[in-house]
Structure 1
Amino acid sequence: MKTSTPARASGALTIGLCLVVALLEGLDLQSTGVAAPRMAREFHLAVAQMGWAFSIGALGLLPGAAIGGRLADKLGRKRVLMLSIALFGIFSIATTQVWDLNSLLAARFMTGLGLGAAMPNLIALCSEAAQPHQRSTAVGAMYCGMPFGAALAALIGIVSPGDESWRHIFYVGGIGPLLILPLLVVYLKESAHFVLAKSREMTHRESRSGVAHALWAEGRAGTTLGLWTSYLGTLIVLYFLMNWLPSMVLSRGLTRVQASVVQMMFNIGGGIGAIVIANMMDRIGRRFTVTGMYVGIAVALAVLASATGSVSTAFGGLLAGLFLVGGQSVLYALASTIYPVQVRGTGVGAAVAVGRFGSILGPLIAGQLLATGQSASVLVIASIPLIVIAAIAALLVIARFSRGQTIATAHQPDHA
């Protein structure tokens, strides 16, 4: 069935608006890493304390993703997304007013809560706005906003007026989301798939849409566990680098500007990888794409660990962003195809929430190990076994998906 021009235009507009939201989310997530050295000086924070500052925002992401995904299936993707944006915008601005470690932790936790709730809705909206053969590309196109937003945060760090200035980064990360809210009210359309699923549910009085049913029923248990494992392993490594890469570069004797350049290259690579690798999944299939993606991650980590100068470190950062951030967009796209539309928000939100354990553990464990004198290169190399486990889990998910054991759409066709 061909899609009408107005429907295609509406889908493109939805993906474009979600891309802008993802860009703002990526900027805010990276802001703490960029501002960390200056915040540490102002509040006299030790390395381990900065690890908590990184991880507390990720701690908010976890319940945010689970709750946001569940509410998306109950209240609608658009409504929950707007509430999420308002939350992380307000508390990003509140971060500029913190006065010590405790107030910083409180502001970043609430910001993370809003950021976490936004992502399952962004994934569901983009997946459901695209044609089935373009869903991975649509999710990747949205998700590329995350690393480009993070690169923007790094650029703000480079052009910052002085070593003591850091609050303006959070002003940008807070005012931007609040400014885009009116545009979402006017132009963002609720998912037609969600509207249809809710109308069917009301017509047939279907009530089997609880969390347990969404995640474990109709052959989805093995796939859910595999998906969770792949998210967890990949996000441990991704968030370790997102938060500690600037400090790691500085520890090698490079300058603050060079560290910001490396961070920017990491995020530029991530933006390219998010759209290119997700598009490859639509074109050449899931198994080959995911295999190549995880091999690329392992190679990138080895290059980054062995780099010494500014050029080789920047190249390692580019490769790591390309495959790690690009790989995460592929995992998001994969999750969006596994769960039927009536429980898609719950399923994706739960996977994102479990993965957020990795975003908490990565920076926190790295901070504790660095505080004991472990070198950053050793930590990067030690990340490779986690990547191997995540790769095996993702390939098992794809194998089950290919055999048709994880799609619960026999009774609920996924079309609007």
Structure 2
Amino acid sequence: MQKSDRQHAIVTVAICFLIAVIEGLDIQAAGIAAAGIREYFGLDSSQLGVFFSAGILGLLPGALVGGRFADRIGRKKVLIGSVAIFAVFTLCTVWVNSFNSLLLVRFLAGAGLGAAMPILITLASEAVSLQNRGRAVGLMYCGMPVGAAILSLVASTEFGANWKNIFYLGGLLPIIVIPVMMWLLPESKEFLKTQNPKSATEAAPQAAFKELLNADNLFRTLFIWVSYFFTLMVVYIMLSWLPSLFTELGFSRKEGATAQFYFMLSATVGTVILGMLTDRWKKAYVIVLMYGGILAGLLALNAASSLDQMYLAAALVGAFVIGCQGVLYAFGGIVYPTEVRGTGIGVASAVGRIGAMLGPAIAGALLNAGFGAAGVISAAIPCIVISAVMMLLLTRRMKGV
């Protein structure tokens, strides 16, 4: 790699990492601010659940639209617009004065964030060679658990005790990052190549959803959709319910929060290591390792009898669950050609977000039905098995992996 290409890659991945940190802050923000929002708006438990869902729901149209526009008019322009939308409506969360307007601004903030994520993956993938995409996406995506862990620490301070400060922080940080993106973030060279046909009569290819289901991409698309769906279902069960599951198992709320911190800390390490292994090992070996690691972590959560064992199990699950998500995003950058890469990752992310919405709701229903924490953890196991099988089938359709 030439020096200019190396600088291009470092700057791109570093800026994408910063935006992933902001996503991690947002993922934790709703849960951390929940008690203050409930009191301020006078919400009951069901309304609070709708508030949680509004932001996740916004991720769906955001991912669909953001990825497609990134393939049409450029990664950089759409990413800047997406981050700006997220910033504005995150700040609006502090200023609204009714439940309905609260839901609206959370939905719109989610749409901005949802549009950004497939572009981050696409930019990180296209900034490096094919042989280094797993590492690049892993380094970029480890920003998510870093951001979540940072906000957990902020929440324990006097500043974080005020729920409005959480959203001020989440809204002002992206506003600071936007000028950095405008000044330093380079456009994807692979995208620019698709916009400069070799001959005047050759039209630049245009991304379309139907291209994801053509003869070349159909099975790849279906396999990755199913895997995204079930993997993100488990990811968001853990993100949303891990502290509560600890409480169900007889531990204190503080111990549950500590487990969540260990979960995020190990997730940072796991995301980087699994991303590097994706480039160095056969993809099938990485899939067996990461899904095997998730199963081992879930079984450890069920079997642990002491607090130290529970912390260790939470760390094990975090390393592989979040790391697995990073690897799946890297696969999206590998399996699709440049012309539809943003669209492909965007649609797969949207499918995954459906699983992300359903997972916490199903876990809540199981808890209400009396299945307990063990029932929730056991219910996640078939999801992991299905995801693993789909990803192994996907590798068989990709040559040389």
Paired AA for residue 292 in structure 1: L
Deviation at 1:210, TM superposition (A): 4.3
Give the structure 1 partner of residue 384 of structure 2.
387
Aligned length: 401
Matched with 1:206 is 203
Q: Does 1:274 align with 2:291?
A: no
User: What's 2:55 paired with?
Assistant: 57
- Which of 287, 310, 329 is the matching residue for 1:332? 329
Match of 1:229 among 214, 226, 229: 226
Q: Which digits, 9 at most, give the CA deviation of each residue in 1:182-220, with x for residues without a partner?
A: 011100000011001111288444366342442022421
The answer on whether the counterparts of 1:33 and 1:246 sit within 8 Å (CA) in structure 2 is no
Once residues 28 and 178 of structure 2 are traced to their aligned partners in structure 1, the CA distance between those partners, rounded to angstroms, is 21
Match 1:288 to one of 281, 285, 289: 285
For residue 265 of structure 1, report the CA deviation from its aligned partner: 1.1
- Which residue number corresponds to residue 314 of structure 1? 311
Note the alpha carbon deviations across 1:224-246, whole angstroms, 9 max, x for none.
Answer: 00000000000001011112223
Contact (CA 8 Å) 1:335, 1:348: kept in 2 or not? Answer: yes
Q: Secondary structure of the residue that 1:219 maps to in structure 2?
A: coil
Taking a change above 3 Å as real, the CA distance of residues 363 and 203 of structure 1, as seen in their structure-2 partners, is farther
The whole-number CA distance in structure 2 between the counterparts of 1:250 and 1:167 is 27
What is the aligned partner in structure 2 of residue 369 from structure 1? 366
Letter in 1 for 2:87: G
Evaluate the alpha carbon distance shift between residue 148 and residue 158 of structure 1 in structure 2; reply closer, same or farther with a 3 A threshold: same
The residue correspondences of 1:5-404 to structure 2 (distance < 5 A) are: 5-160=3-158, 165-200=162-197, 203-206=200-203, 209-402=206-399
Q: Structure 1's 94 and 252: CA in aligned 2 closer, same or farther, altered over 3 A?
A: farther
Deviation at 1:168, TM superposition (A): 1.4
Provide the TM-score with structure 2 as the length reference: 0.94
CA separation of 1:135 and 1:154: change in aligned 2, threshold 3 A = same
**Aligned partner letter, 1:364:** A
Consecutive unaligned residues in structure 2, runs of 5 or more = none
1:139-182 deviation per Cα after TM superposition (whole angstroms, max 9, x unaligned): 110000011111112112222468x6322111111110011100
Alpha-carbon distance in 2 for matches of 1:293, 1:312 = 20
User: What RMSD in Å do the two structures reach over aligned CA positions?
Assistant: 2.1
> Which residue of structure 2 aligns with residue 412 of structure 1?
none
CA distance in 2, matches of 1:274, 1:14: 18
- 8 Å CA contact 1:55, 1:364 repeated in 2: no
Runs of at least 5 residues in structure 1 that lack an aligned partner in the other structure: 405-416
Provide the identity percentage: 40
State how far apart, in whole Å, the 2-side matches of 1:202 and 1:181 are.
36
Distance 1:285 1:93, change over 3 A: same
The Cα of 1:128 is off from its aligned counterpart by 0.6
The one-letter code of the counterpart of 1:192 is: K
Distance in 1 separating the partners of 2:80 and 2:51: 26
Larger deviation, residues 215-224 vs 202-211 = 202-211
Q: 1:34·1:246 contact (CA, 8 Å) conserved in 2?
A: no
Query: C-alpha distance in 2, partners of 1:85/1:246?
Result: 29
TM (normalized to structure 1)? 0.91
Identify the range of structure 1 (325-334 vs 165-174) with the bigger mean alpha-carbon deviation: 165-174
Q: Deviations over 1:356-414 (max 9, x none)?
A: 1011111222233334444233111111001111111111111111379xxxxxxxxxx
| Displacement of 1:41 | 4.5
Instruction: Give CA-to-partner distance per residue, 1:311-358, whole Å, 9 cap, x none.
Output: 333222211110010000000001101111111111111111111101
Alpha-carbon separation, structure 2, partners of 1:383 and 1:42 = 35
Cα distance between partner residues in 2 of 1:37 and 1:369:
23
- How far apart are the structure 1 equivalents of 2:319 and 2:35? 25
Q: CA deviation at 1:252?
A: 4.1
